[in-house]
């Protein structure tokens, strides 16, 4: 085992994948200069240009700012013999290439009756929680979940980030990974040897009996904090990190809810049509008989992301908001001051009430 | 350009294959034998075939909604194409694609796109893999005058320019995008846009002359193959039929006299005459060629009629390469 | 009252809006020649060019095929004094302009602290069920529901299509309307005089006590058919058409479920993160105590849309599939043959099971 | 071009306002007094001010992530801009926007965009409303050499060309997009791309000369105002600082000698000398001007410090013009 940061783990996975297979290439803006820290050898930001030296400019493809053709070209290259890893830097830029994602990447194999395969990985980082305002803070994975044909990965730890990225590169289908910048610095143990984590296998982060929390991306550490604080009150919370949203490990969630009878879903995406909505709907259909309380979603309210530090942080699922939600589902009196978590969840929807 | 008689006859054959295939498809869609809609290339055969014949077998190609001509021009067998239009299990895409989404990877046809402009980046990516893998394949992206106003074309041209990708951007300027005359929505000249993106841009004014198209595209393909990068070729041509047949979406507001003038310069008639005049073939040989093509189309229809529709469960296949849940 | 088709009603609403306010303009591909039948005076397809004659080329803006700039330019024009109606023809083309929708249209007012207002309507038609294959059959409203700042309209009748479109044009916020081509020919009564339908008010299509069906767009007639067929067996089904997805009339749905205790949501979108998921999650959180059965979603499975007539139609919510779902929630033995509705719903997800 | 002394002094004042404001912002972000990141226009003041001064008061403008210079150049007061960078309630966007999303509608600034290229269509739309409403306003879209490879620029140029919209596309070519040298990712010459889209394209080689920029943009603005349509102006310039300050995303790989050469031709120093040489102002007058600007920046910071942060509930305001549920 060795200790790595989340960002370092991504760099290491990229390096291993590049070393393992000459048809793997990296395509993206500023990848040559290692601006985002994942094309420098997986060590530190100061390893500028390592990948360029190691793999050459034929395989490290520094692009113009042209997301639409970057995504489409990666798809076309994947259909004809390469296995590109595309670095789209921030997730907010994916919309620029939405047509390519939906109409080409997701559809080509199906439309052409299986003639195409599309081994391509699109990496992007969600920059929320860092005071950069509405244009850099998006968490758009729910949109892509609504597009059949894509696989969607949302790692929350260095171990998962590395293992899932290796699997993504191995996959013959298109994979989108949504990384959380706020986790970039998180450190964790990672095996020295190569390993893969299958897509579609949730990780039970913490066992518990009184309620299940399914937490996504940066909501995972928040859920752990909530579980720890409730443990002090003798409340035992199970925390599940699905790790991939498509495919989704329904069984792990259902099994847990069958045991606990209570579900909270913590999801940093906007509330309406979020991953949390899907998970809730799934359980309301398939584990209804086990449910002993309403399913509560802790999400980002349906508002855009404001810049001011006095406005932004409150919006994302936090330890206290998740704690509050768990107390609600287990029927405990809440302890939040007004204008706290409860209010946030009341404000959290575009539905008139 | 000195082309062998064989090559010239193959050009005529491919133009005829497109013409007869599309005439049949047009009839069938009107009779309800083909569901949905078809967009025919009738009138544009020289432009399609001139371009396709300038490519080699291993070369790649993408196209658009006006879709049948491209794979036919690239040499795809007609049976699976026709079966695809009808939605049969033996279709080239197993019935999943239909007219708008033909693809025949066996001849380098990487797919037609119902979304205007959307397949241009795909062709660019195929050129990228040729470059990285150094396998000598050239890509060609077919798109219309309408698609020439989609931004992704210029992103693609720029990327291909800086990376010197082996690709030809081929604009089929049939002077209309659906009901809209190109000159009313196009600022400047399409071919002239190449210069700003650092590549040659040529305009084939007589796109009804298959040899003229072949020459221009062949020059571009050779440049690409030499590693010198992309080119833009704009071909002026004309479609005879409605934009789209079967949907009854609005009709065409083109001047009938304009159409008549173009029909007079029909690419197949013109080239036939030239083949005779140049002593490449006799009228009888050309009649025989035409008869062969008609038979080929008849056989394609027969093949289609004899084929079953796909089982409903096929709707759940081919989304991924491996099963996800119940989906395979 | 007069009888109008769904398509005619849209044309009529456009004409009225153009007549009422000189700052209303129509922008889109092929609007001049009235190719799609809504810029010809609201009468019939053969009224070619009516709008052009009535309003002139300054206000009827025939565009190049450039969705990204069309959407952005309409937004910019709306920020500076016009009230554009943008005809994007088919909904599958919206992805081309996704960045403009998400990063400009939805965010500008908020980001700029209320300086911008954005009175613009984006119309598009969902062409599913008509054998045109994967590139024209999209039903992408769930994606847009995940974007705060947009209003989303999904009319199912001529009356609603006309009344909601007038309200949309009046709105100072951006509105997306998703019309269903399969309903274009549907005829219905429409008042002679001008009228508006508020956004956020559901319509109870049919009253009933045993189960509630919330149905969207073309699922509304399918739900009515299901309710009618079940009525023969003495089962009384309430059918609610929300008409707008943002804002959403939560209260109408909750009130109904409080009475019936059972909910089926019929939604032609892909299942994962669908509008149905949102509605289900909402009810599982807010009306849990009233629920007497699992919430069942009847959606389009998570597969792309195939072309062949033998493959396509089965995928959308149909009368029989909705009937079957209602029987399930009321605990009645099902009557479907194998490979029917039940199977479809089992195939309907990207989650491994 | 004969500009009044007053106008020339105003140019120098605006350049100084940008310089001093951005220097202060740069310091503040490094000290953690500004959250997030800022992108300064230091070194590019002549390009920004030359363009803005060629516009009239009612004219519209959009910009990008390198955002402070544009509204300052257009005459926006500094207090609300600085307060916005810090996220105060008195910020020009009430604290909702921040550095990346400045907008000051009172001076025609319709918004800076953190998404590269994304505001170009918005400016095009403002030009469309000017045209439809016939109100004489011209639009100007600022964007970088990096943004010049986004497809939406070409869609916008084409649309503006066919509709003869009153707009100026202004490319701030500071020769880098983040770490990437423009010449490595740009095929052809940006200004030359105009021709293919049927409009004039000029390149201002000395973008450090505020008058040269003014001349080129003024010509384009007059053309737009006469109803003759759009122009593309590419200005060669240079940023002195890191791409982005505060985030510590990678550092800059530009050659320090290259930077030094540009600093030597500093636009503010050059223009100051010229004003003195031409007898437009004395050194003392220019010192006084500079002192005024410094005071203005100090006051902006004071204003910011004195201002409260917005109440958390403000996060739920301004999404729509009317309340939707709990959201207003
Ligand atoms: C992105 C997109 N916008 C609009 C359409 C609708 N549409 C289909 S074909 C067409 C005209 C295309 O014109 P052109 O590119 O010149 O090709 P042609 O039909 O003339 O061969 C239009 C507007 C579409 N399919 N995709
Ligand atoms: C669509 C999009 N892609 C990528 C980025 C990340 N990014 C921000 S600024 C920048 C460089 C922009 O270069 P240029 O347009 O030349 O402007 P400059 O910073 O040089 O002023 C990049 C790549 C972005 N913000 N938006
Ligand atoms: Mg055309
Ligand atoms: Mg730059």
- Closest B-chain CA to A149: B319
Where are the domains positioned within chain C? 2-190, 203-347
Out of A25, A63, A148, name the one closest to residue B132 (CB).
A25
Q: How sure is the predictor about C346, in pLDDT bands with cuts at 50, 70 and 90?
A: low
pLDDT in tens, B231-283: 999 999 999 999 999 877 656 678 899 999 999 999 999 999 999 999 999 99
The mean pLDDT value of chain A amounts to: 93
Instruction: Give the closest-approach CA distance of B109 to chain C in angstroms.
Output: 18
Where are the domains positioned within chain B? 5-327
Interface test with A, best of C258, C351, C353 (most A CBs within 10 A): C351
The mean pLDDT value of chain D amounts to: 96
Decide whether any atom of ligand 1 lies within 6 Å of the B66 Cβ: yes
pLDDT in tens, A178-209: 999 999 999 999 999 999 999 999 999 999 99
**Rounded CA separation C14/C3 (Å):** 17
DSSP conformation class of A105: I
Has residue A316 got a pLDDT over 70?
yes
Decide whether any atom of ligand 2 lies within 6 Å of the D115 Cβ: yes
Q: What CATH number is given for B5-327 in this structure?
A: 3.40.50.970
Q: What is the pLDDT of residue C45?
A: 45
Question: For ligand 2, what atom is nearest to the CA of residue D66?
Answer: 21
Residues of C whose CB is below 8 A from D123: 76
Has residue D189 got a pLDDT over 80?
yes
Q: What is the pLDDT of residue C50?
A: 85
Residues of A whose CB is below 8 A from C311: none
pLDDT in tens, D4-35: 999 999 999 999 999 999 999 999 999 999 99
Has residue A291 got a pLDDT over 60?
yes
The mean pLDDT value of chain B amounts to: 96
- Closest C-chain CA to B244: C35
Decide whether any atom of ligand 2 lies within 6 Å of the D84 Cβ: no
pLDDT in tens, B286-313: 999 999 999 999 999 999 999 999 999 9
Q: Name the residues of C annotated as catalytic.
A: 136
- Closest C-chain CA to B119: C135
Has residue A61 got a pLDDT over 90?
yes
Q: What is the pLDDT of residue C345?
A: 54
pLDDT in tens, B56-70: 999 999 999 999 999
Whether pTM > 0.90 for this model: the answer is: yes
Has residue D251 got a pLDDT over 80?
no
Show Cβ contacts of residue D33 under 8 Å, excluding neighbours closer than 6 positions: D86
Q: What is the 3-state secondary structure (H, E, C) of chain D?
A: CCCCHHHHHHHHHHHHHHHHHHHHHHHHHHCCCCCCCECCCCCCHHHHHHHHHCCCCCCEEEECCCCCHHHHHCCCCHHHHHHHHHCCCCCCCCCCCCHHHCCEHHHCEEEECCCCCCCHHHHHHHHHHHHHHCCCCCEEEEEECCHHHCHHHHHHHHHHHHHCCCEEEEEEECCEECCEEHHHHCCCCCCCHHHHCCCCEEEECCCCCHHHHHHHHHHHHHHHHCCCCCEEEEEECCCCCCCCECCCCCCCCCCHHHHHHHHHCCHHHHHHHHHHHCCCCCHHHHHHHHHHHHHHHHHHHHHHHHCCCCCHHHHHCCCCCCCECCEC
Q: How far is the CA of D175 from the centre of ligand 4 (A)?
A: 5
Decide whether any atom of ligand 2 lies within 6 Å of the D65 Cβ: yes
Decide whether any atom of ligand 2 lies within 6 Å of the D147 Cβ: yes
Decide whether any atom of ligand 1 lies within 6 Å of the B111 Cβ: no
Residues of C whose CB is below 8 A from B327: 301-303, 347, 350
| Interchain contact A247–B (C-beta under 8 A) | yes
pLDDT in tens, C142-199: 999 999 999 999 999 999 999 999 999 999 999 999 999 999 999 999 999 999 999 9
Q: What is the pLDDT of residue B254?
A: 87
Q: What is the pLDDT of residue A48?
A: 46
Please indicate whether the domains covering A2-190 and A203-347 agree at the CATH topology level: yes
| Interchain contact C91–B (C-beta under 8 A) | no
Among residues of chain B, what percentage have pLDDT more than 70?
Answer: 97
CATH class of C2-190: alpha beta
Q: How sure is the predictor about C43, in pLDDT bands with cuts at 50, 70 and 90?
A: very low
Asked, as a colleague might, if the bond just before A247 is cis with ω within 30 of 0, I would say yes
Nearest residue (CA) to ligand 2, atom 8: D116
Instruction: Give the closest-approach CA distance of C347 to chain B in angstroms.
Output: 5
Q: What is the pLDDT of residue C158?
A: 98
Q: What is the pLDDT of residue D10?
A: 98
Select which of A135, A136, A270, A339 is catalytic. A136
pLDDT in tens, C105-115: 999 999 999 99
Interface test with C, best of A128, A275, A285, A325 (most C CBs within 10 A): A285
Q: What CATH number is given for C203-347 in this structure?
A: 3.40.50.920
Q: What is the pLDDT of residue A217?
A: 98
Do the chains contact at C303 and B100, CB–CB below 8 Å? Answer: no
Has residue C15 got a pLDDT over 70?
yes
Q: How sure is the predictor about C36, in pLDDT bands with cuts at 50, 70 and 90?
A: confident
Has residue C338 got a pLDDT over 50?
no
Residues of B whose CB is below 8 A from C65: 116-117, 146-147, 149-150, 177, 185
DSSP class per residue in C130-169? SS--TTT----HHHHHTSTT-EEE---SHHHHHHHHHHHH
Has residue A332 got a pLDDT over 90?
no
| Strand B180-181 relative to strand B176-177, pairing | antiparallel
Q: What is the pLDDT of residue C339?
A: 42
For the segment D169-185, the average pLDDT, to the nearest whole number, is 97
Instruction: Give the H/E segment covering residue A151.
Output: strand A151-153
Instruction: Give the closest-approach CA distance of A19 to chain C in angstroms.
Output: 32
| Interchain contact B193–D (C-beta under 8 A) | yes
pLDDT in tens, C221-258: 999 999 999 999 999 999 999 999 999 999 999 999 99
Has residue D3 got a pLDDT over 50?
yes
Interface test with D, best of C101, C107, C112 (most D CBs within 10 A): C112
Q: How sure is the predictor about C332, in pLDDT bands with cuts at 50, 70 and 90?
A: confident
- Closest C-chain CA to A296: C285
Do the chains contact at B187 and D160, CB–CB below 8 Å? Answer: yes
Decide whether any atom of ligand 2 lies within 6 Å of the D66 Cβ: yes
How many Cβ atoms from other residues are within 10 Å of residue A334's Cβ?
13
Q: How far is the CA of A147 from the centre of ligand 2 (A)?
A: 28
**C242 and C212 Cβ atoms separated by less than 8 Å:** no
| Interchain contact C76–D (C-beta under 8 A) | yes
Q: Which is nearest to A275 in space by CA: A199, A330, A318, A219?
A: A219
Asked, as a colleague might, if the bond just before A179 is cis with ω within 30 of 0, I would say no
Do the chains contact at A310 and D177, CB–CB below 8 Å? Answer: no
Residues of B whose CB is below 8 A from A79: 110, 122, 125-126
**Rounded CA separation A245/A145 (Å):** 7
Which chains sit next to D, with 3 or more Cβ pairs under 8 A? Answer: A, B, C
Q: How sure is the predictor about A351, in pLDDT bands with cuts at 50, 70 and 90?
A: low
Residues of C whose CB is below 8 A from A297: 281, 285
Helix axes B120-133, A67-78, angle to 10 degrees: 60
Q: Which residue has the tokens 């709306």?
A: C78
Q: What is the pLDDT of residue B311?
A: 98
Lowest mean pLDDT among A281-285, C68-72, C342-346: C342-346
**Rounded CA separation C314/B319 (Å):** 17
Lowest mean pLDDT among A343-347, B122-126, C88-92, D213-217: A343-347
**D117 and C68 Cβ atoms separated by less than 8 Å:** no
**C273 and A142 Cβ atoms separated by less than 8 Å:** yes
Q: How sure is the predictor about C353, in pLDDT bands with cuts at 50, 70 and 90?
A: very low
Instruction: Give the closest-approach CA distance of C89 to chain B in angstroms.
Output: 11
pLDDT in tens, C256-289: 999 999 999 999 999 999 999 999 999 999 999 9
**C133 and C307 Cβ atoms separated by less than 8 Å:** yes
Question: For ligand 1, what atom is nearest to the CA of residue B150?
Answer: 1
Q: Which is nearest to C72 in space by CA: C52, C88, C89?
A: C88
* Terminal CA-CA length for chain A: 52
Residues of A whose CB is below 8 A from B320: 109, 149, 151, 173
Q: How sure is the predictor about A350, in pLDDT bands with cuts at 50, 70 and 90?
A: low
D113, D177, D207, D241: residue to mutate for ligand 2 pocket, most atoms within 8 A of CB = D177
């Amino acid at each position: 085992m060795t200790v790595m940061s989340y960002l370092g783990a991504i760099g290491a996975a990229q390096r291993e994948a590049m070393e393992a297979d000459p048809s793997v290439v990296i395509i993206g803006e500023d990848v040559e200069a290692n601006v985002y820290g994942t094309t420098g050898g997986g060590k530190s930001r100061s390893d500028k240009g390592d990948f360029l030296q190691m793999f050459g400019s034929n395989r490290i493809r520094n692009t113009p700012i042209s997301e639409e053709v970057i995504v489409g070209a990666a798809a076309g290259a994947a259909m004809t013999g390469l296995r590109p890893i595309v670095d789209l830097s921030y997730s907010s830029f994916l919309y620029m290439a939405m047509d390519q994602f939906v109409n080409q990447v997701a559809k080509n194999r199906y439309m052409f009756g299986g003639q195409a395969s599309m081994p391509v990985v699109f990496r992007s980082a969600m920059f929320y929680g860092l005071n950069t305002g509405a244009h850099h803070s998006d968490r758009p994975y729910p949109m892509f979940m609504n597009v059949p044909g894509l696989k969607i990965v949302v790692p929350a730890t260095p171990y998962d980030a590395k293992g899932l990225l290796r699997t993504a590169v191995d996959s013959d289908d298109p994979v989108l990974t949504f990384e959380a910048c706020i986790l970039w610095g998180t450190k964790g143990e990672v095996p020295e040897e190569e390993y893969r984590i299958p897509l579609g296998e949730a990780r039970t982060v913490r066992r518990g009996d009184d309620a299940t929390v399914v937490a996504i991306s940066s909501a995972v550490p928040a859920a752990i904090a909530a579980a720890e604080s409730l443990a002090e009150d003798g409340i035992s919370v199970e925390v599940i990190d699905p790790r991939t949203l498509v495919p989704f490990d329904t069984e792990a969630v259902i099994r847990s809810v069958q045991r606990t009878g209570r579900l909270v879903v913590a999801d940093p995406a906007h509330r309406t049509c979020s991953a949390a909505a899907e998970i809730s709907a799934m359980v309301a259909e398939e584990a209804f008989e086990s449910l002993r309380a309403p399913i509560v979603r802790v999400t980002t309210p349906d508002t855009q992301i404001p810049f001011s530090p006095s406005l932004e942080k409150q919006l994302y699922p936090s330890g206290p908001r998740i704690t509050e939600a768990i107390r609600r589902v287990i029927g405990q009196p809440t302890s939040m001051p007004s204008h706290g978590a409860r209010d946030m969840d009341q404000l959290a929807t575009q539905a008139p009430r | 350009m000195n082309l062998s008689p064989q090559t010239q006859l193959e050009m005529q054959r491919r133009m005829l294959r497109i013409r007869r295939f599309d005439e049949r498809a047009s009839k069938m869609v009107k009779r309800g034998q083909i569901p949905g809609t078809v967009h025919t290339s009738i009138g544009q055969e020289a432009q399609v075939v001139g371009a396709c014949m300038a490519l080699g077998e291993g070369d790649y190609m993408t196209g658009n909604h006006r879709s049948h001509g491209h794979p036919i021009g690239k040499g795809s067998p007609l049976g699976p194409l026709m079966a695809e239009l009808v939605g049969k299990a033996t279709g080239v895409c197993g019935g999943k694609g239909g007219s708008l989404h033909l693809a025949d990877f066996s001849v380098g046809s990487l797919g037609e796109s119902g979304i205007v402009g959307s397949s241009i980046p795909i062709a660019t990516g195929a050129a990228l893999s040729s470059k990285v893998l150094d396998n000598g394949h050239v890509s060609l992206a077919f798109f219309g005058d309408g698609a020439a106003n989609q931004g992704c074309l210029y992103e693609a041209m720029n990327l291909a320019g800086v990376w010197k990708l082996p690709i030809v951007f081929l604009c089929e300027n049939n002077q209309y995008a659906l009901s809209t005359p190109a000159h009313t929505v196009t600022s400047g000249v399409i071919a002239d846009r190449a210069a700003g993106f650092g590549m040659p841009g040529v305009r084939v004014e007589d796109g009804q002359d298959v040899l003229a198209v072949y020459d221009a595209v062949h020059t571009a393909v050779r440049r690409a193959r030499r590693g010198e990068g992309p080119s833009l070729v704009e071909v002026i041509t004309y479609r005879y039929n409605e934009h789209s047949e079967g949907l009854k979406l609005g009709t065409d507001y083109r001047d009938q006299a304009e159409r008549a003038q173009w029909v007079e310069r029909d690419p197949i008639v013109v080239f036939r005459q030239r083949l005779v005049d140049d002593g490449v073939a006799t009228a009888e040989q050309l009649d025989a060629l035409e008869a062969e093509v008609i038979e080929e189309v008849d056989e394609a229809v027969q093949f289609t009629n004899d084929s079953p529709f796909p089982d409903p469960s096929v709707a759940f296949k081919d989304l991924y390469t491996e099963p996800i849940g119940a989906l395979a």
